[in-house]
A and B are shown apart, each in its own frame.
Chain A
């Protein structure tokens, strides 16, 4: 399998606060990587460094065959989809327009084609009847599925999810995870920051435990969940599975 993402000695500080340190990570095509770790451990920051929503303080990030730099940023972002914790749908556009906007304005696809493909994508996330609704008229779970369709519309090589279900009411989590499960099954390359240990266990090929800005431990779900080596991983898992 080919490598899609290669991170080498990534470091990120906000002022004097060091948030990420010595991050090395390689993601292969078709791989699903779960990022777990306590709140504030740096999961979001790591994801945001990958598509440079946050510029890294030090280290290298290679995406496909190129180094990610400020100059090829828009090219990189076209190929990396991102799904946010709070959806960040465009409230002035309908669900369908949300999905079709970037293909039209960024890729230059014709309105007709963008809307047709947008409808197909909404169909895949089971939202074809909501195509003409505005985000404010949708439930959280529906909004997050529109956001996933929006990211997919650019046909990205890599999908980043930043805790996509943690802003949702518990009964709405399932529908979003179902969509993500399908994506994983299709062979999409995904990096998912999540608190859903069930999902990580079932879907991820690899689990990374982030602690205070470092990757403390990584391995297959079985290794991490059944037999964690590090004391801190154990306490974290104990605390989160207790809930």
Chain B
């Protein structure tokens, strides 16, 4: 019965969210931009030479190109720097108008409902490896190696396409973490865009080198949300102008470090013709507000790239049940990993925490000091950093663990410190007369702990321990940075992938709730069972019956 109330809460949460939908009116992005006088472009600034931060300043090819486009549209540009996993999703939630993040134009993304501008850069997927690793001579050599990628990039798709099996693919949020993984000998190769990879290796990874050749040629485009055909037309018009008047060539030379040749420009169109990319836009009705003409133009898809047949009024807040249904199996896999992570962490972390707590209250000063140091270091530093240290730094000391093992170790090390403090508080809350009574009966210290103090402590620390378990279940999502695919990571991938981030994140929230509710319920049951009065009542009932 107690579990019903939270369930009702979950339902209410979902309903309120769904009904928000009806209060939102879709509005044309171009009108919105005009009203604001500001164009918001989302990016992920970990991708030189396209976009990166240097001394707090956002720089790069995309950034300058985007600013030029803003000039053409007559509005200011505001940049939104996000993690890659959230970049495309921010279109759906209308946090931004456009995405410029070296995004490759793919059929899959178009089908998800993203609109692409005309291609503005010719790129390709290539492979990086450790210098001197003779096993890898060409792209095909990585099929039986461990390969890292940045999650949900075309690097991942290319690796999957050439046949790297899923269980040997390590997916990172940040490209540089994937490269570190290769440098640390944990992965053997990484697949990513050629220009970005070249630039990052040059700057930060002298130990790595490129394997010659390109797996597949790709076109990079600017992305908009599905109903914004007028905006895309305007962007295409601006792009053409920038390409024609020489600004594009200047940016190309400055950032890509290669002079712009007709061959490169031809490549843009070549891939365009061979693949799904359509020829450059020729109609510019999207720009009419700039020329202050009053003629209203119906949203026409014209020459705009993409063109998934989605309803133009689909709002950011509507729940897509089809997406939920399709992604449930994958989300359940993620939930299972999250549960296993949590369970194993509690399994190792609880006894470890108890041991640390016993050291913390020990009469031996050295033990006490060790325990305090441990607890303070763990509590005083972010969990994320601890995960990084265990996965990326320990290999230097020849302590090398798999991502999953690293995750468990980091979470256990972290949880043990908090659990130790919970146990210490519990033990210290037991009246000192209990220890005295036990000792006066001839029990030694550990016997008294075992038979008298700890059984009482356990009942007291159960509620705070549950809180810790719930916190842990949620914090376990952080281990996704070392390529463990748990619930949150699985969800992020589906969200980037499906084109309906809101729906997916809502589904994840509900799953997390469903995972934490049984914990709460279980503990309230246990607490009832352990309440002496109630147990007594039961015993008496039992004997009467």
Contact = CB atoms under 8 A, between A and B. Distances in A.
Interface of A: 51, 53, 74-75, 77-78, 80-82, 84, 86, 88-92, 101-102, 105-106, 132-134, 136-137, 147, 150-151, 154
Contacts of A77: 439-442
27 contacts: A53-B436, A77-B439, A80-B440, A84-B433, A88-B431, A88-B433, A89-B437, A90-B434, A90-B437, A90-B438, A91-B456, A92-B455, A92-B456, A101-B441, A102-B441, A102-B442, A105-B443, A105-B447, A105-B451, A106-B441, A106-B442, A106-B447, A133-B536, A134-B533, A134-B535, A137-B532, A137-B533
A84 B440 CA distance: 10
Contacts of A102: 441-443
Contacts of A92: 455-456, 459, 532
Interface size class of B (residues with CB under 8 A): 20 to 34
Contact of B532 (A75, A81, A82, A91): A91
Contact of B539 (A101, A106, A132): A132
Interface in B232-252: none
Given A77-B439, A84-B437, A154-B441, A137 B536 contact: yes
Nearest to A48: B436
A53 B439 contact: yes
Interface in B498-525: none
A48 to B, nearest CB: 8
A136 B452 CA distance: 16
Contacts of A53: 436, 439-440
B444 interface: yes
Interface string B160-199: 0000000000000000000000000000000000000000
A239 B236 CA distance: 104
A133 B400 CA distance: 55
Nearest to B440: A82
A-B residue pairs, 5 tightest by C-beta: A78-B442, A134-B532, A88-B437, A88-B433, A102-B441
Nearest to B430: A91
Contact of B533 (A82, A136, A147, A151): A136
Contacts of B434: 88, 90
Q: Which of B444, B456, B532, B533 has the most CB of A within 10 A?
A: B532
Nearest to A136: B532
Interface of B: 431, 433-434, 436-444, 447, 451-452, 455-456, 459, 532-533, 535-536, 539
A51 B437 CA distance: 11
A75 to B, nearest CB: 8
A149 to B, nearest CB: 12
B441 A150 contact: yes
Contacts of B539: 132
Contacts of B532: 91-92, 134, 136-137
Q: Is the interface of A mostly helix, strand, loop or mixed?
A: mixed
Contacts of A132: 536, 539
A86 B433 contact: yes
A77 B440 CA distance: 5
B505 to A, nearest CB: 44
B350 to A, nearest CB: 19
A134 B536 contact: yes
Q: Which of A75, A81, A105, A150 has the most CB of B within 10 A?
A: A105
A92 B458 CA distance: 11
Given A84-B437, A88-B431, A88-B436, A106 B443 contact: yes
A167 to B, nearest CB: 11
Contacts of B455: 92
Contacts of B441: 77-78, 81, 101-102, 106, 150-151, 154
A90 to B, nearest CB: 6
Given A77-B439, A90-B434, A134-B532, 16 more contacts: A77-B442, A78-B441, A80-B440, A81-B441, A88-B431, A88-B436, A88-B437, A92-B459, A102-B441, A105-B447, A132-B536, A134-B535, A134-B536, A136-B532, A136-B533, A137-B533
Contacts of B433: 84, 86, 88
Contact of A101 (B431, B451, B456): B451
A134 to B, nearest CB: 4
A102 B451 CA distance: 9
Contacts of A151: 441
B451 to A, nearest CB: 5
Nearest to B436: A53
Contacts of B439: 53, 77
Nearest to B530: A92
Contacts of B442: 74-75, 77-78, 102, 106, 154
A84 B535 CA distance: 27
Contacts of B431: 88
A84 B447 contact: no
A77 B168 CA distance: 63
B533 A90 contact: no
A151 B455 CA distance: 21
B533 A74 contact: no
B459 to A, nearest CB: 7
Contacts of B533: 134, 136-137
B489 to A, nearest CB: 42
B309 to A, nearest CB: 67
A178 to B, nearest CB: 23
A138 to B, nearest CB: 11
Contacts of A106: 441-443, 447
A132 to B, nearest CB: 6
Contacts of A150: 441
B14 to A, nearest CB: 42
A101 B431 CA distance: 19
B222 to A, nearest CB: 67
A90 B449 CA distance: 12
Contacts of B456: 90-92
Nearest to B455: A92
Nearest to B437: A88
B91 to A, nearest CB: 58
B108 to A, nearest CB: 60
A150 B456 CA distance: 19
B462 to A, nearest CB: 13
A84 B436 contact: yes
Contacts of B440: 51, 53, 77, 80-82
A1 B122 CA distance: 108
Nearest to B452: A90
Nearest to B457: A92
